[in-house]
Amino acid sequence: MAGGDIAVLGAGAFGTALAIVLAEAGRAVTLWGRDVDAMAELAAMRENRRHLPGARLPAALAVTADPALVRAATILLAVPTQGLRGLLAGQPELAGRRLVACCKGVERGTGLLPTEVIADVLPGTPTAVLTGPSFAADIAAGKPTALTLATATPGGETLQALLSTPALRLYLGPDPLGAQLGGALKNVVAIAAGIAIGAGLGDSARAALMTRGFAEMGRFAAARGGRAETLFGLSGFGDLVLTCTSAQSRNLRHGLAIGGGQPVDRAVTVEGVMTAHAVVETAGTLDLPVTRTVSAILNGELSVPEATEALMSRPLKREDGD
């Protein structure tokens, strides 16, 4: 097991894109997925036609559905947050390796972030977080991308060097908690932004939701022990801007469908949905009007017009008091 070897667990769009860019940079990379037939097709066609069509897999990139073949020292976890616990419980041999959480969200029922789920299932395992403004298609195409790599354990600089490529620039940070909260909460705000645009409320309403949603992100992060300055970086503000403004964003598209009265695609993983509910379930009395409103709309407890009226009729307050 070479120290420079990397395995990516999760052959969705983001996991495949990371595997491609790292393999093209000369790293020894294995891409693992649980679906045997899908991985066999991916290996044969050298293309992930379901999740990332058009992006060719480098010849050196190994593809497998066999957990026994995942022997790398560094593991990138690119599975949906709600499936992370089950994956780790099924592969206890991952304990002790460096696990990098590349998923964004909050676990429903526990309120735990990905690194906290790892600590719960595989105690003592060193962890890091890779997050920030990025779309799989851009990464796979080799377009310039900057992300946050956050860790509170030793060896961050070595990991930063291992995972950085000519097209993927990583900024090292000491606050994995804040980085994960930024990556999770911005998805909720993106759903709200999509609802506003889909309902015809206009770009001004979207800008207001982004701004007040960002204040809300900071409020929740502070309550959970994250650093405010972390959310002003790539993992917070940067990711928020991208997710709330680009049509590539699944969370934005989900909100657009709801706001426009259109059916949503249930086959697409939209992390902001479960995150909104998980945050509301664990936030107590914390003032989170945007998140609570999104959760209520998703649950069918509020219509979009009712939600708009509720937000606009809240008591007036000072902006500098947050």
The answer to whether residues 225 and 282 belong to one domain is: yes
Q: What is the pTM of this model?
A: 0.93
What lies within 8 Å, CB to CB, of 46 at 6+ separation is 56, 57, 59
For residues 269 and 243, state if they share a domain: yes
Q: Which of 145, 174, 203 is the last residue of a domain?
A: 174
Neighbours of 68 (CB within 10 A): 8
> DSSP character for 108?
T
CB 196 within 8 A of CB 205: yes
Please report the pLDDT score of residue 319 as a whole number.
86
Residues 159 and 218 in one domain: no
CA dist., res. 2 & res. 72, Å (int): 7
Radius of gyration of the chain (CA): 19
In-domain check, residue 1: no
**Single-letter code of the amino acid located at 11:** A
CATH number at residue 156: 3.40.50.720
User: Residue 322: which H helix or E strand, with range?
Assistant: none
Q: How far is CA 138 from CA 146, 183, 228, in A?
A: 11, 18, 28
> Which range marks the domain in which residue 302 is found?
179-321
Strand partners, 98: 74
Q: Are residues 208 and 70 part of one domain?
A: no
Q: How far apart are CA 193 and CA 122, in angstroms?
A: 37
Q: Which of 155, 174, 193 is the last residue of a domain?
A: 174
Instruction: Tell me, yes or no, whether 64 and 121 share the same domain.
Output: yes
Q: How far apart are CA 171 and CA 39, in angstroms?
A: 32
User: What is the structure's pLDDT at 229?
Assistant: 92
pLDDT beneath 50: ranges in the chain: 1-3
- Let me know if residue 83 belongs to a domain: yes
Q: Which residues are catalytic?
A: 186
State how beta strands 145-150 and 127-131 pair. Answer: antiparallel
Cβ-contact 84, 49 below 8 angstroms: no
215-219 long-range contacts, CB within 8 A, separation 24+: 215/322, 216/185, 216/189, 216/287, 216/288, 216/289, 216/290, 216/291, 217/181, 217/182, 217/185, 217/186, 217/189, 218/322, 219/286, 219/287, 219/288, 219/322
pLDDT of residue 4: 64
